[in-house]
Amino acid sequence: MRHPTVKAPRALAFIAVLVMAVVTVGGAPVAGAVTRGTDVTFAGSGGTALYGTVLAPRQAGRHPALVLVPGAGPTKRAELRLQAEAFAERGIVTLIYDKRTEGYSSFHRDYSVLAEDALAGVRTLRARADVDPGRVGVWGLSEGAWVASLAAARSADVAKVVTVGAVGLPPSRQQAWAYGQYLRHGGVRGSLPGMMQDTGIRQLVGAGLFPEATYDPVPVWERVGQPVLNLWGTLDREAAPAESARIIGAALDRGGNRHHLTRFVPDARHNLHITSDNGFDRPDPLAPGGADMAAAFVKGEPVAPGAPRPEQDGTSRELAPLAWYENGWGQLAALALFALAFLGHPVAAAVRRLRGTAPLPTRRPARTLAALGATTVLGCLAYFAFMALTAANLVGPTLLGRPLLWLLLQLLATATVAATAFTAISFHRHHAGLAPGTRAHLWLQLSAGAVFIPWAAYWGLLLP
């Protein structure tokens, strides 16, 4: 995503910031206000105990309130403490809580369960003496926006909905787009972006290792009738913000919701924090404007117009289902063959030594093929797992547009193909003098080498 190069949009953004400061005076922090925190325990979905903290203004009276629903991962309440304090300073009672660990992990999650947890938080706030029970809303960040919208669609107890970095795409499609953002930012070219954005993520989905991969947020948004404020940072590199804003806005319109607003916070990243790296870093301080907009909306005051809608750096692409030759069984069969042929070679060699068998004339090319093949396959799987678990955020140093580790894997893959050819030549020359068991093992190795070529090309190791 790039800043506009003409002066008019910049001028509009500057004017918007000034207007924001004027219009949201009612939502600004009260001078000298000090929040107080109270730890609470409440029962979430299925009776699971959830532990949280309520932060409230010191001013007497009944206040509007928000349940803050965190983003993806095993998040703790401390990660939303800044947002909670900002709202409490603006006269809003807030509840932050530790996300459940029972039934939530990197490989399993259920937004329906998380929505019930959020509604349990709403009930907790509605029961407080310092909260106006008719003015309790939900605030959701990123994945939490899917949860917040689902909670609102289920219960009229939710008065208003505020989202930050909401995604209107299925999670797998959104993640593929985000991979591309971070890889391009890291200067990565060649086959790795395609592998991560297409092959890799579709394999994760097919293997069931991408939780809620195909969740469609659109039908849920069509059922949300409460007033909604959707916020995005102009430097959001994770939520496909322009697409998501259009998709969610259209869904709310189709559902008959005429009380929804879309706002963009100037120079803010995905979570509405400041950024010093064009949206790709993770500093702690909040960007100015976002809390004011949300507080004004919750309190029923005018909401500043925010920044103009930014241009999105590329559009997302729908992910195709795996073809028959890509399915998990085929991948497992290839990996099993590699394990037998490459990892089994040292075992076969050790058995020959124990029997006192004379050294084979093919031992060097076969040993080289086994070592290169095993290293390349294991290295590729480990590197892909690392990139997936870090959301491609840690690219590292690059050479020729390739991360050094990926470039090394590509060189090893090329060497494996060469070793397969040399082993085939040696086998052909010495075939007649080899024992039947040795011939069978070499046939297994050559079969693995032959399968390795399309496998490595499929995973991008043999592509430019």
**CATH number of the CATH domain containing 280:** 3.40.50.1820
pLDDT at 308 over 80: yes
* Confidence grade of residue 428 (pLDDT, cut at 50, 70, 90): confident
Go through the chain and tell me how many residues it has. 464
More confident residue, 401 or 6: 401
More confident residue, 171 or 13: 171
- Asked whether residue 379 falls in the same domain as residue 427, the answer is yes
- Asked whether residue 331 falls in the same domain as residue 445, the answer is yes
Tens digits of residue pLDDT in 388-397: 999 999 999 9
- Asked whether residue 55 falls in the same domain as residue 120, the answer is yes
- Asked whether residue 357 falls in the same domain as residue 291, the answer is no
Average pLDDT of the residues in 218-236: 98
pLDDT computed for residue 2 by the predictor: 37
Q: Specify if 431 maps to a domain.
A: yes
Q: Specify if 240 maps to a domain.
A: yes
pLDDT at 462 over 60: yes
- Asked whether residue 385 falls in the same domain as residue 256, the answer is no
Q: Report the share of the chain in percent with pLDDT over 70.
A: 87
- Asked whether residue 262 falls in the same domain as residue 385, the answer is no
pLDDT computed for residue 416 by the predictor: 97
Q: Which domain holds residue 24?
A: 10-170+215-298
Number of domains in the chain: 2
**For 133, which DSSP code?**
E
- Asked whether residue 282 falls in the same domain as residue 391, the answer is no
- Asked whether residue 266 falls in the same domain as residue 366, the answer is no
Average pLDDT of the residues in 405-413: 98
- Asked whether residue 146 falls in the same domain as residue 21, the answer is yes
Pair 24, 295: CB distance under 8 Å: yes
More confident residue, 15 or 351: 351
Q: Specify if 261 maps to a domain.
A: yes
pLDDT computed for residue 387 by the predictor: 96
- Asked whether residue 404 falls in the same domain as residue 294, the answer is no
- Asked whether residue 280 falls in the same domain as residue 414, the answer is no
* Confidence grade of residue 34 (pLDDT, cut at 50, 70, 90): low
Q: What is the model's pTM?
A: 0.86
Give the whole-angstrom CA distance, residue 287 versus residue 265: 8
Q: Specify if 340 maps to a domain.
A: yes
* Confidence grade of residue 364 (pLDDT, cut at 50, 70, 90): confident
CA 364 → CA 2, 193, 270, 349, 440, distances in Å?
54, 36, 53, 11, 17
pLDDT at 275 over 60: yes
Q: Specify if 144 maps to a domain.
A: yes
Domain boundary among 283, 298, 313: 298
> Could you tell me if residue 396 is left (phi over 0), alpha (psi between -120 and 50 degrees) or otherwise beta?
left
Q: Specify if 186 maps to a domain.
A: no
Q: Specify if 446 maps to a domain.
A: yes
pLDDT at 147 over 70: yes
- Asked whether residue 339 falls in the same domain as residue 236, the answer is no
